[in-house]
Structure 1
Amino acid sequence: MLGENHALFIEFPEMKNKIHQLKMADENFKSMSDRYHKLDHVIRGLECNNVPTEDQHYTQLKMERAQLKDKIYSALNN
């Protein structure tokens, strides 16, 4: 859905405590989390401004967010 918030706490509610712990203890995880948050914010802004879905920049941002989400999920399950 357009404009939907994909914050990590929403995407992985059952891992809320682990997300917080890793952000505090693991600089790499914190960096990935911060980048994910920034990407999500930019993507939601574009969606709310009705950017065409065929826009290459928009598509690239969404792809990067998805790849980052996979890396974060992997880190959460280690």
Structure 2
Amino acid sequence: MANTPHELHEEFPEKRQAISDLKSSDGHFARLFEEYHEVNRAIHRAETNVEPTDDLHMMELRKERMVLKDEIAKCLAEV
């Protein structure tokens, strides 16, 4: 899914190197990164009707993505 919107490297283009470094050196960040991508891919699959879902579930997924992105942004702000 190379065309998945909201990939972290697109969301934080100035932090590409920090993202790469933290993924390999910080276990907590690596877990956040993977969780974000799992949720983001699920949203993309739902939006493209590959795996349709109801509105409530979509809203929950988007909220989860937002929370994860906020946590990731905090980690990136510290480097």
Alignment TM-score > 0.5, same fold: yes
Q: Which runs of 4+ in 1 moved over 4 A?
A: none
Q: For residues 11-67 of structure 1, what are the alpha-carbon distances to aligned partners after superposition, in whole Å with 9 as ceiling and x for unaligned?
A: 001000000000000000000000000100000110011957x71111000000001
| Residue 65 of structure 2: aligned partner | 65
Instruction: Give the Cα–Cα distance (whole angstroms) in 2 for the partners of residues 32 and 56 of structure 1.
Output: 23
Partners in 2 of 1:5 and 1:27 — Cα distance?
25
1:1-78 pair list within 5 angstroms: 5-49=5-49, 51=52, 55-78=55-78
User: Could you tell me whether the CA contact under 8 Å between 2:40 and 2:65 is conserved in 1?
Assistant: yes
Q: How many residues are paired up?
A: 75
Residue ranges of structure 2 left out of the alignment (5+ in a row):
none
- TM-score, structure 2 length as denominator? 0.87
Could you tell me how far apart the structure 1 residues matched to 2:4 and 2:29 are?
Answer: 23
